[in-house]
Amino acid sequence: MALILLQVLVLGVIAAAVDDVPVTWSPSPRSAVLACEVAEWPRVQARRPPPPLDDERPPWPVAAWRKGDREFSYKRVSENNNLEVRKNGGGDGIYQCKVRHHEGAVLGYPVNLKFSYMDKQFTSQPDDVTAKLGQPLVIPCSIGSGPPAVITWKKNGETLPDNPRYHQLAHELLITDVTREDAGVYKCIATNTNADKTKYSRPGRVEVQESAEEEPALLPVHHESQVARPRWSNLKLACPVTGWPRTKLIWELTPPGGRTGELESGEEVLQLLRLDDDQVGLYSCSVEGRSDIVKTFNVSYTEPVTIALPPVSKEAMRASTVRFNCTARGTPEPKITWYKDAELLQVAGRINLRTSADRTRIELVISGVTSDDAGVYQCFAWNGVSVASQWGELNVTGPGAAAPQSVRCAPAGAAAVALRWRPAAAQVIAYTVDFAPRDKPGTVRTAQPHTDTQETVRVPEPLTPYQFQVRAYIPLPTKKNVASDMSEGVVCMGQGVPIKLLKQDDGILVSWRQFAFSTPGVLQWILQLANDTSPSGHVTNVTLDGEVYNYTIQEPSTRQYVRVLGSRTLEWLPQNLSLVEWTSTDTAGQELDDWEATAIPYELEARDVSEHGFTLQWRCDAAPAAFLVCVRRSGGDDECQESHKPSATVEGLQPDSEYEVRVRVRAAAAASAPYRLRTAPAGPSRFEELRYEIVNASAVRVRWGGPRGNYTVRHSARLRLPVELWAALHTAGNSALINGIDPTEPTYVIVTGYSPYAHSPVLTIPAQGVELDSKDLQYEYTSAGVRVFWNSAGPREVRFAQNITQPLETWRAINVTDSSVELTDLDTKSAVYVMVSLPGVNKRKQVLNIPPNPNNNFGFHLASMYSGIGLGVCFCVMCVLAAIFVCVWRKRKLRNRTPVRARRPTTSPGNAEEEGSEMRGVAPRANGTEPLLNGHVHAHSKTPNGKMRKGRRADAFDAFDVSRYEPDTTAETTLGDAAPALRLLDTSRGPHLDVSRGPHIDVSRGPHLDASRGAELHVSRSSRELGDDSFNKLPDDNMNSELTRGAEFQLDNSKIRPTLQPNG
């Protein structure tokens, strides 16, 4: 039965996965060669089958192939593990290879093989058609082909020209805005290179005519409402509209979760380039003013599957909990399927899929690890676009022990199952029973540890099949305890529905209405009648529909026994029903209220047992108004208290004392079976000293005070998860070692003790460190290599390599306790890839990429040194050249300048000679000691706007050195009345006319006079010949005279009268 169910599940998964695996078309229509591609092939240590007896034959391949549940012979597999498939020998389907690895096996990527083909006839092809001028036209062409045929078009026997109005769609040729040049004969050609076939369609003639008035309508083309294309690809959305005159086409886009917006394009073919997030959504095209003409496209993109967090090989002790990650990304969202040793892994019972506390990872959780759990765990992720796979090994370590044998189970109530087994060893510390739903995923639950070889387990859901396994804890001579493997699983479900009997005129009414209402999902009931409850007695079965919840039997003349069974499936589970209770017809009541009198509480359980009290819970099939809870100390009287719910808190008890508790319905006389317990001893609490010690990054030891005994230690990283779902460890001492914790998340621990039952407060173990990302790492180059540092403290595992393609397990690893590490012995020409994580954490982190050190090359240093020397030499040469240029420039300037005349000495009143300017030598002194107007000789020059520059002392510079050419420069002086008539130096005529020295012109002063005319130039014309009109204009305030600059001009200084400066 179980084997058939497993085969059905395997075939169902394979059938469901056909649509998820991309199609691989055969390169030829008759045969195909399939390659065995295994994820992380370098890690696989393949095991070959036994070699053939004939040594001359080639060795058998390491890969085995299968199609569904059919395995191919090794003879059909080549030495390089390829499988040759023929169309008449295997056909289409999903093929997959398997490679033996250690004691397990690894699956290759599945191949969804389909043989290439092409139909003989076109499903649609061109016809003679009349197109309308200015409107769109569609010419069909399609043919059945795998892979899809490549369609090309010809017009009038020639290849269709490139034209932005021609759009080759999947099944048509669309021509927008038809013109008269579009008339002609069209033909399509379909080519399938895999099938080696080419088909030619019949020709279709297109004639063009004028458009007439016509209502707008959508032109029928192949419409794909759900459009999914690879990301970054191009896409065309066709929405051709006929009608005349032409109408405006409106395109709108509604992004996911956004508002609808109108697009700028009004073309009949909307082109989307490089499809991305901003182009995903619902597109609609409509005709302006016509709400009935609408066409929609739901556009999305696809991305291949990548596994972000792959499973990593692990070692685990027996009875521990192991987690494998397999978090995949892709668009659409990928589906994940797990395999163990190349066989589909049934996720149920001890093996479940859970989401991590941070909601970023999907983990395969294996609770209560046994030796049978060792092997290769492989996950496949597929989304219809691509398939990705990763795998990891589980190695179960530690000493082993024999598992309990001959486990048997039988229902003992609607939600109770009784178990018994043979002892596992002569000395056993404790047994634990693990159980989980058989037919649906669920978390494994562990019953309380005990030393008996039998136990009645209360299951959460009545009338539900559960699988039970027993584990033993056996002491070793080394004073250590070892957990055995799990026993073989047995399946049982609770049976025996609580009923009530009511006498009526026509018989006895049997009712289970309250149970039926509280337990939905039952498909069938069986009511059993017997005159005798012995195993050999005759039993009458009455089958009832699941919607029935009462049945009337004829009142028997003698006592009869009744019981009701239920099932959630139409296929009943065979079980031993000897422990299911019968109800006698003698207990039938006269009224409905008598049901309360016959209801008896059961399943009493005490919690939170302290020195002076406890909390009691129970179950009851009736809902009475009140219960009575009676507590009796040994040798004492009952002390009862009332409760209106199926629980009560009892207080005022003595420490370290035994008590007996009974519960009954207030209106009834019968009470429950006695429940015995012992209060906690006086003194400190047994869990008051609860503490923890960090062993390593993934292990912690929890200790507590109190007497030695059986304890259950539960731990989880999710505080809000129900305690029953936390991972559990069982121990007979006062400490427990918890392995496999996530050091990046806090861990919560609760310790439960028995005899009496009590549990500790929640112990919070903080996270031991923070995971570092590549952005948290910094580096600097050193003389020996590179130093990587970070801000967070604590132990770290540093892995690095210079070839990022090699497996992570082969990277060099360094364990550090500081916040930095120096990596040495590196290839200076290659980059370094570094990953820093907490020790014992198998999360894949982002890798820090450190480029090669540019300063670590001797050639680079030598080039840098030569470059520095060259720059220094160039700078010195430039400085020398600049100095030479300045010297040459100064010499040439001095060479081009006329030498300055020697200044004439002047005699001071004290007969002392002093050197002054020529004007100071000729300036008269009014009082014999001071020159007129302070004896200042001012030199002014005009600016381009006519304003005067600030005056300067003439003795501050050689202002009257007429050897320099300084246009528009004047000399000023102030003369007294007693001064004789003096000749003035007229500087308004330029430095080449030195008229102060007579009528002769010294050509040596001016470089621009023609010296070929002689050393002296005689001026023959006198001032009188020019007329007196030239001197009628008095000089201005700057002593400027407008004199004729003629070559024959002779100056008469007697006609010029000086004027005083405004300051004189």
Residue written as tokens 């055995």?
A: 484
Q: Which residues in 3-107 belong to E strands, given as ranges? A: 23-25, 31-34, 63-67, 70-71, 83-86, 93-101, 104-107
Mean pLDDT of 241-246: 93
pLDDT at 324: 92
Nearest to residue 69, comparing CAs of 144, 112, 106, 14? 14
1022 or 107: which leads in pLDDT:
107
Q: Residue 1036: what pLDDT?
A: 46
Tokens of 151: 């369609």
Residue 598 has pLDDT above 80, yes or no: no
Burial degree of 321 (CB within 10 A; 0-12, 13-18, 19+): buried
Amino acid at 117: Y
- Torsion angle (degrees, nearest 10) of CA 779, 781, 783, 789: -10
Rounded Cα gap, residues 306 and 326, in angstroms: 10
Q: What is the pLDDT of residue 683?
A: 62
Residue 500: its pLDDT value, please?
Answer: 86
Q: Which residues pair with 952 in a beta bridge?
A: 939
Kindly state the percentage of the chain with pLDDT values over 90: 32
Strand partners, 631: 639, 661
**Mean per-residue pLDDT for 404-408?**
93
> pLDDT by residue (tens digit) across 284-323?
999 998 888 999 999 999 999 999 889 999 998 888 889 9
Task: Using the predicted structure, report yes or no on whether residue 955 has a pLDDT greater than 50.
Answer: no
**Mean pLDDT of the region 46-67:** 65
Could you give the percent of the chain with pLDDT greater than 70?
A: 76
- Give 148's DSSP letter: P
CA 274 vs CA 269, 303, 728, 992: distances in Å: 16, 13, 52, 82
Residue type for 345, please? L
The per-residue pLDDT for range 151-191, each reduced to its tens digit, is 999 999 999 988 999 999 989 999 999 999 999 999 999 99
Q: How confident is the model at residue 940 (pLDDT cuts 50, 70, 90)?
A: very low
DSSP string, 313-379: -EEEETT--EEEE-EEEEESPPEEEEEETTEE----TTEEEEE-TTSS-EEEEE-S--GGG-EEEEE
pLDDT at 799: 87
CA dist., res. 511 & res. 535, Å (int) = 25
- Whether 384 shows a pLDDT value over 70: the answer reads yes
**Rounded Cα gap, residues 909 and 906, in angstroms:** 10
Whether omega for the bond prior to residue 147 falls within 30 degrees of 0, making it cis, is: yes
* DSSP string across 457-517: EEPSSTT-EEEEEEEEEEE-TTS-EEEPPPPPPEEEE---B--EEEEETTEEEEE-HHHHH
540-584 pLDDT, tens per residue?
Answer: 999 999 988 889 888 777 888 999 999 999 889 999 999 999 998
From the centroid of its chain, how far is CA 905?
98
CA-nearest of 240, 241, 226, 322 to 280 is 226
Buried b (16+ CB within 10 A) or exposed e, 727-754: bbbbbeebebebbbbbbbbbbbbbbbbe
Nearest partner of 640 among 665, 657, 621, 610, judged by Cα: 665
Average pLDDT, the chain: 78
pLDDT tens column, 327-345: 899 999 999 999 999 999 9
Helix (H, G, I), strand (E, B) or coil at 582: coil
What is the predicted pLDDT for the residue at 268?
Answer: 93
Least confident of 40-49, 408-417, 851-860: 851-860
Across 392-415, average pLDDT: 89
More confident residue, 1057 or 81: 81
For residues 661-674, one letter each, b for 16 or more C-beta atoms within 10 angstroms of the residue's C-beta and e for the rest, the string is bbbbbeebeebbee
Report how far residue 630's alpha carbon sits from residue 135's, in angstroms, rounded to the nearest whole number: 94
* The two structure tokens encoding residue 507: 């018989």
Q: pLDDT by residue (tens digit) across 960-1013?
A: 444 444 444 444 444 444 444 444 444 444 444 444 444 444 434 444 434 344
Amino acid letter, residue 582: W
DSSP for residue 46: B
pLDDT bracket for residue 842 (50, 70, 90):
low
Q: What is the pLDDT of residues 686-743, one digit of tens each?
A: 676 788 988 877 788 998 877 777 888 888 888 777 777 788 888 888 888 888 787 7
Q: How far is CA 709 from the centre of its chain?
A: 47
pLDDT for 468 beyond 60: yes
Q: What sign does the CA torsion over 643, 646, 648, 654 have?
A: positive
The average pLDDT across 242-248 equals 92
Residues 344-369 have a mean pLDDT of 80
- Looking at residue 348, its amino acid is A
**Residue 690 DSSP SS3:** coil
Mean pLDDT along residues 1010-1039: 42
CA distance 396 to 318: 7
Burial of 941 (0-12, 13-18, 19+ CB in 10 A): middle
Which range scores top for mean pLDDT: 355-369, 490-504, 601-615?
A: 490-504
pLDDT-based confidence at residue 240 (cuts at 50, 70, 90): very high
**pTM score:** 0.57
For 768-912, where are the E strands, in sequence order? 778-781, 785-789, 796-801, 812-816, 820-824, 832-837, 848-850, 905-907
| Per-residue tokens: 663 | 């519960």
What is the token pair recorded at 571? 């296929």
pLDDT at position 9, please? 41
Residue 588 is predicted with a pLDDT of 82
Q: How confident is the model at residue 898 (pLDDT cuts 50, 70, 90)?
A: low
Q: Is residue 1044 pLDDT above 50, yes or no?
A: no
pLDDT of residue 144 exceeding 50: yes
pLDDT, greater one: 79 or 470: 470
Tokens read off for 462: 């009545």
Determine the length of the chain.
Answer: 1064
Say whether pLDDT at 238 is over 90.
Answer: yes
pLDDT at 960: 43
The mean per-residue pLDDT over the stretch 742-763 comes to: 81
pLDDT at 306: 93
| Residue-level pLDDT at 623 | 66
State whether the Cα torsion 999-1002-1006-1009 is positive or negative: positive
- Give the whole-angstrom CA distance, residue 466 versus residue 849: 52
Q: What is the pLDDT of residue 999?
A: 44
CA distance 338 to 390: 10
- Dist CA 575 CA 572 (whole Å): 9
3-state secondary structure 919-941: HHHHCCECCCCCEHHHHCCEEEE
Query: What confidence score (pLDDT) does residue 19 get?
Result: 62
